[in-house]
Structure 1
């Protein structure tokens, strides 16, 4: 096995461990906080998520991807990115601070003003992790990142729970964000210390901004669009409904963001190093696509299958609407890791202009679907979100096909049989538990039936892929 394949394999394992541990612990903490605090409290913080997310996009400005992609990166590149990001973080926080009264007035909730000003501090804190994080990603050192993420969650989560029990409400969630960011920043700079030892150069800035600015615009569109749902729900409906949607959205996105993060962090540097050998890059791309679908589709659809009995039994009937939304959202989110693989290939080929064009097209379509679904309620908005996810897959594979020798049909053909088998297994699993009244028996029957059906399909139709997944020399061997 080549040194690159070994690094990719090791990186994949540690990245997976870091994501699953971090997100798993965070999920448990979030569920307990949801039970303690209720939908309305979660809704208050959920309304502010878009402003923090947009600020973080500006702070990064696509420089992270630009530095990872560049094979001859210099110290001046790092220094230029560092000072730019710190300056942008300061500007973004000032904007957040002075716009907080207008945000509170927009939602007609005065308490949002102080909440936003304090929560906005995470933008400043996170800016100091940029260079250490990039250096660890370039080295594909996900073991260190796993330590940092897990320690940060273990530090911030219990404190948030204590504050929630003591009656601090939304401030428990804000405190968790601040403490998590602070702990991660300290640990990144402890495990991967770095100090600027060169000067800002125009050449470095021109490269970083030329490549990153298009990614900035596409990321800005993506973040704004994804958080637009919570803004509209908060304005048109109520904080409690925002809380319901936020909880459903988070539960659906946790496994997908976990798996997407693993795939992006490993495949982007991997594809970057293979960009001079198109055949090997396409081979690695196809393997990643199929293996991702093999693992991700059943996990996400399985969550949607048991969403209602699981959520209402754990959190209470007050979260029933969130359970219904979760089922619908899972069918859209199951494709997100596949989207990430498609888009990584576009970025690696240097077509950030095409990346931006694609994001604009998808967001225009998504916005039209969103506006059409608003009059029919939040569940209809969730259905529209899922519909646009499938349209996005068609668009992503179309543009990927234009840059490689791999046709759009071949890309869809690689994952379509797996998708069909997962849906079929889920339908049979749902039918098997339909008339079982005891919640945990119902969940067990749902999952066991679906897993048996899916397992039979894998054994009969995907045996070579299963053997590749079991291969200790790793599925990403290129």
Structure 2
């Protein structure tokens, strides 16, 4: 693939991945606000207690085999059929496991409602498993347009069903209905958008080959899910469902920004990086551009959310969610490191070094457990601050191996991000002064947001940062096509 063709494919992939993520996240954001205004923090807390069990089961179902197929250069029909059969079998096994473990989960958290919630919510495993191969094939083809369509369909369907259920007084079950309807409609649409039809063929040889690569990603994925959800477990166990509800709302606000950008860059660049894995110079060139683009987008956005947290929460969620404000102001800074950390791990996967991906992730658990042991007795806010500290440490860990293998480690990455940090600091001063001038929440949000964006873009223009030009080019391409 030539440089021009590769760049065109990459831009097209980024555009449709961006449409997908932003459309879905914006839709979920709106639906989340509507549900939060109707439901109670306790309702979100109950679902938060189950997140890790569903996430771990989903990780086993996927097992890294789909990523293995994307990374592999030569693929056959039997590989895809083997993946399909495996996904269905594992999803069935873990649904049964969740079904019978539900009473024990309920007892652990001391919440009787969790038994039935677990058994119904676990059905999402089946819906997702049926479309893993279709999604994998579309990713290999860099057909993020079809993936975007399926995700938007799922978001809209799930959102409508959830809000209607909430209005009709279904409480916490509204959230379950939202997730079930979204997973089912998204998977169903992928069947229509993909030209692949499954078979029941299963090859032990193909499975062993895929699992050799995917098994390390499976362990790393399980590990990541535990790290990501250990806070839910601790808050659900040691604090009230409402406290966990406040935390999950703060986390969702932060993830909408950093999580969306990180997901766009990770999803759209992985097949591109994998295609040039044997060309070290080109690999690092693409990777460094993604690091800079991540900093260009994430640093100002997360800082702006922290500065405007009070008007954002009170205007969108109402006063009953005011406890979210201090949590949001801290948690956004833990998410600043998320996209760059994900890109570092993405580079290892694209280069076929899932073994190093695993080793990198395994080094994080002791630090997380230590932080949790120190902060749990101190309160929810202390737990979140501890999460900010560990996230910064994990960024350093994730950047170490790319530096050792490819000569682009933490110091070079930070150096590339410094211009965007300087622009963000300048923006923060302007937003702080603007917000200080008025106590009206609407004016704080409007004037602070507008002045912040304009200031940041002007500084980037003065610094002649290429990323501003690239984003403008992408926006123009989106308008044309």
Query: Paired residue for 1:117?
Result: 119
Give the superposition deviation at 1:115: 0.6
Give aligned pairs, total.
Answer: 475
Among residues 398, 401, 416, which one is paired with 2:400 in the alignment? 398
2:155 aligned with 1:136: no
In 1: Cα distance, 2:377 partner to 2:15 partner: 45
After superposition, the C-alpha distances for 1:286-308 in whole angstroms (9 at most, x for unaligned) are 11111121122212221222112
After superposition, the C-alpha distances for 1:259-289 in whole angstroms (9 at most, x for unaligned) are 1221111110000001111101111111111
Query: Paired residue for 2:382?
Result: 380
Query: Paired residue for 1:355?
Result: 357
Between 1:52-61 and 1:294-303, the stretch displaced more is: 294-303
Query: Paired residue for 1:262?
Result: 264
Give the superposition deviation at 1:198: 7.4
In 2: Cα distance, 1:473 partner to 1:407 partner: 30
Query: Paired residue for 2:419?
Result: 417
Between 1:11-20 and 1:361-370, the stretch displaced more is: 361-370
Give the superposition deviation at 1:403: 1.2
Query: Paired residue for 1:153?
Result: 155
Among residues 307, 313, 325, which one is paired with 2:327 in the alignment? 325
Q: TM (normalized to structure 2)?
A: 0.95
After superposition, the C-alpha distances for 1:67-119 in whole angstroms (9 at most, x for unaligned) are 10001011111111111111110111011000000011111111110011000
Among residues 29, 32, 37, which one is paired with 1:30 in the alignment? 32
Query: Paired residue for 1:244?
Result: 246
Query: Paired residue for 1:46?
Result: 48
Query: Paired residue for 1:80?
Result: 82
Among residues 431, 438, 446, which one is paired with 1:429 in the alignment? 431
Query: Paired residue for 1:439?
Result: 441
* SS in structure 1 of the partner of residue 285 of structure 2: helix
Query: Paired residue for 1:209?
Result: 211
In 1: Cα distance, 2:362 partner to 2:409 partner: 23
Which structure 1 residue ranges, 5 or more long, are not aligned?
Answer: none
Query: Paired residue for 2:286?
Result: 284
Among residues 340, 343, 346, which one is paired with 2:342 in the alignment? 340
After superposition, the C-alpha distances for 1:21-60 in whole angstroms (9 at most, x for unaligned) are 1110111001110010020111111111111011000001
How large is the Cα RMSD of the aligned pairs? 1.8
Q: TM (normalized to structure 1)?
A: 0.96
Comparing both chains, which one has the higher relative contact order based on Cα–Cα distances under 8 Å and sequence gaps of 6 or more?
1
Between 1:245-254 and 1:458-467, the stretch displaced more is: 458-467
Among residues 220, 226, 231, which one is paired with 1:229 in the alignment? 231
In 1: Cα distance, 2:57 partner to 2:349 partner: 22
